[in-house]
């Protein structure tokens, strides 16, 4: 496959839409071999000190602030935002290439969601009307509709990311309880300090788990909304990194029912979820 096409396909899989922290099944990490237990036949130089296990520290302020952010989102029966994201992917030449996307997101609890993505990916719309998920590629006139009954946003996100094999690097903030998802298998949490994101005073925090190193910038005070998020996928080849910034937050807006309804264009081709890359390559 041509390098550009290969990167574009991966970009679609990894960054089609949302911008937040990557929710994924955390893989177990094997413990490193301890040099102290290795068999030694002859020592001609000073022995290498045994590797020390990492000291994990979870700062209470970092965890409490993440909980406050989550509670702010949970308390909102509906919200919308605009996001800009960048992902760095390695091409076949070895050079890292940066791709940019923007998204408009609207959510209404417990079972309505719409995302419109544009930029270096195809122009993608994702709809959830309370019973089915639909994805539409406006550039290539292709769409897919879920066959499995879905009752809420959590189920819809799990379907799209597992059965449809589309990963949302920022889906965590859309779950019914973002805190529970974001702290799963958390090993470290730390406070970096004060920062500014697009003119908004924020607090900067870092977190780690076996699969991800990630950072979040949360607006100061009671507002407590996520303003920027960055992550590195430690268990993915070449450790791709992702950055997203959130703007134009609106809490409890009046959203029209039509926002979440997908109307099939007359000239669009229906495909199955999970076959997008193959269909697009035809």
pLDDT at 274 exceeding the cut of 80: no
Please state which of the ranges 158-162, 198-202, 230-234, 260-264 shows the lowest mean pLDDT: 158-162
Is 181 within the bounds of a domain?
yes
Tokens representing 188? Answer: 């470290």
Give the C-alpha distances (Å, rounded to integers) separating 176 from 21, 76, 81, 102, 152. Answer: 14, 11, 17, 23, 9
Residue-wise pLDDT tens digits, 13-34: 443 333 334 444 433 332 232 3
Is 116 within the bounds of a domain?
yes
| Among the listed residues 179, 160, 154, 189, the one whose alpha carbon sits nearest the alpha carbon of residue 59 | 189
Is 33 within the bounds of a domain?
no
pLDDT at 3 exceeding the cut of 90: no
- Distance CA(74)–CA(59), nearest Å, equals 23
Is 176 within the bounds of a domain?
yes
- Distance CA(232)–CA(110), nearest Å, equals 30
Strands 269-270 and 142-145: parallel
Percent residues over pLDDT 90 in the chain: 60
| Mean pLDDT across the chain | 82
List, as one string, the DSSP characters of 59-73. Answer: -HHHHHHHHHHHHHH
Output 138 or 218, whichever has higher pLDDT: 218
Output 168 or 89, whichever has higher pLDDT: 89
| pLDDT (0 to 100) of residue 51 | 53
Contact call for residues 181 and 170 (beta carbons, < 8 A): no
**CATH no. for residue 136?**
2.50.20.10
- What is the maximal distance between C-alpha atoms in the chain? 77
| pLDDT (0 to 100) of residue 186 | 97
Q: What is the pTM of this model?
A: 0.81
| Among the listed residues 168, 166, 173, the one whose alpha carbon sits nearest the alpha carbon of residue 246 | 173
Is 120 within the bounds of a domain?
yes
| Among the listed residues 132, 109, 133, 135, the one whose alpha carbon sits nearest the alpha carbon of residue 124 | 135
Q: Which long-range contacts (CB under 8 A, 24 or more apart) does 143-147 make?
A: 143/262, 143/264, 143/265, 143/268, 143/269, 143/270, 143/271, 144/270, 144/271, 144/272, 144/273, 144/275, 144/276, 145/262, 145/270, 146/273
Residue-wise pLDDT tens digits, 137-192: 988 899 999 998 899 999 999 998 887 766 676 889 999 999 999 999 999 999 99
Output 278 or 148, whichever has higher pLDDT: 148
Domain count along the chain: 1
| Among the listed residues 129, 152, 163, 116, the one whose alpha carbon sits nearest the alpha carbon of residue 18 | 116
Instruction: Please report which confidence band the pLDDT of residue 50 belongs to, taking 50, 70 and 90 as the band edges.
Output: low
Is 143 within the bounds of a domain?
yes
- Distance CA(205)–CA(258), nearest Å, equals 38
| Among the listed residues 128, 207, 212, the one whose alpha carbon sits nearest the alpha carbon of residue 169 | 212
| Among the listed residues 207, 218, 205, the one whose alpha carbon sits nearest the alpha carbon of residue 181 | 207
Q: Show the domain range for 180.
A: 3-21+56-281
| pLDDT (0 to 100) of residue 91 | 83
Is 46 within the bounds of a domain?
no
Is 126 within the bounds of a domain?
yes
| pLDDT (0 to 100) of residue 121 | 78
Which distant-in-sequence residues (6+ apart) come within 8 Å of 134 by Cβ? 126, 127, 128, 143, 144, 145, 146, 262
């Amino acid at each position: 496959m041509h390098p550009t096409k290969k990167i574009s396909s991966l970009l679609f899989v990894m960054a089609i839409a949302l911008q937040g922290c990557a929710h994924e099944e955390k893989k177990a990490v094997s413990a490193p071999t301890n040099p102290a237990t290795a068999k030694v036949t002859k020592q001609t130089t000073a022995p290498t000190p045994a590797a020390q296990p990492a000291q994990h520290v979870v700062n209470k302020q970092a965890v409490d602030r993440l909980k406050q952010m989550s509670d702010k989102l949970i308390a909102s029966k509906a919200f919308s935002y605009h996001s800009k994201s960048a992902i760095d992917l390695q091409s076949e030449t070895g050079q890292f290439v940066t791709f940019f996307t923007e998204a408009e997101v609207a959510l209404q609890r417990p079972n309505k969601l719409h995302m419109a993505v544009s930029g270096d990916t195809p122009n993608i719309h994702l709809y959830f009307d309370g019973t089915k998920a639909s994805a539409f590629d406006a550039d290539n006139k292709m769409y897919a509709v879920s066959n499995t009954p879905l009752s809420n946003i959590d189920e819809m996100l799990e379907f799209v990311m597992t059965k449809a094999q589309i990963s949302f690097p920022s889906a965590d903030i859309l779950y019914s309880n973002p805190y529970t998802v974001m702290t799963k298998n958390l090993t470290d949490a730390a406070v970096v300090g004060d920062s500014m994101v697009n003119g908004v005073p924020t607090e900067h925090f870092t977190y780690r788990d076996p699969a991800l190193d990630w950072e979040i910038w949360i607006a100061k005070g009671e507002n407590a909304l996520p303003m920027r998020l960055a992550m590195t996928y430690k268990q993915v080849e070449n450790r791709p990194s992702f950055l997203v910034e959130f703007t134009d937050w609106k809490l409890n807006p009046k959203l029209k029912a039509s926002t979440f309804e997908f109307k099939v264009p007359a000239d669009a081709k229906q495909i199955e979820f999970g076959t997008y890359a193959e269909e697009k390559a035809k």
